[in-house]
Amino acid sequence: MGCIVEEDYGDIEIESPSNFSTVNEGIYRSSCPRPANFSFLETLNLRSIIYLCPGPYPEENMEFLRTHNITLFQFGIEGKTEPSAATLKDAIRGALKILIDVRNHPVLIHCKRGKHRTGSLVGCLRKLQNWCLSSVFEEYQHFAGIKSRPTDMRFIETFDVVCLRQCLHSLIYQYHGYGSKKRRLLYREDNVQKPRVASA
């Protein structure tokens, strides 16, 4: 997990963003991509990006999204100052609703460095997937390293996935894969609150 991927396609060197990893089929995570990473992103055939920072998305990245018809879902979570529990919970819940909808896949999740905000969202996804808490924390700490935040892990631990399931009454299961009973989630159109969306 979290390695830099470099491949040589003839004379073109492909480099992934730092902290890049596959979360599940069709779901990826990383730090904020730089222009040097755009060739790598093209290989993912992304349909959506979930951006977890406040403020405008970098213009060069927006141009890449426009060129490749990628939709941006932005949930602004402060990184340097600790957001209120209610604000963080609302943002994570909203991002999860986008994340588990296979119509948005392939999707890339990122914040600035792909550690704390991205790690918190992925941690809550793992709880929704019924991972044991020790495995959730191990994955979080792998990406956050020595900068792991106890407040993030406490948030993940107390995040109410039961409440999220109750909010998504129209969740249905779809099975994909070659001979494997892989369960993926999709929700139908409903009256859930929409995030701030920039459709490229």
* Token reading at 31: 């730090």
Q: Which of 111, 124, 132, 163 is catalytic?
A: 111
* Token reading at 140: 């979080």
One-letter amino acid for residue 181 of the chain: K
Strand 48-51 relative to strand 107-110: parallel, antiparallel, unpaired? parallel
Which residues are registered as beta bridge partners of 28? 22, 108
The SS3 assignment for 55 reads coil
- Per the annotation, the verdict on 111 as an active-site residue is yes
* Token reading at 24: 């599940």
The SS3 assignment for 49 reads strand
Catalytic residues: 111
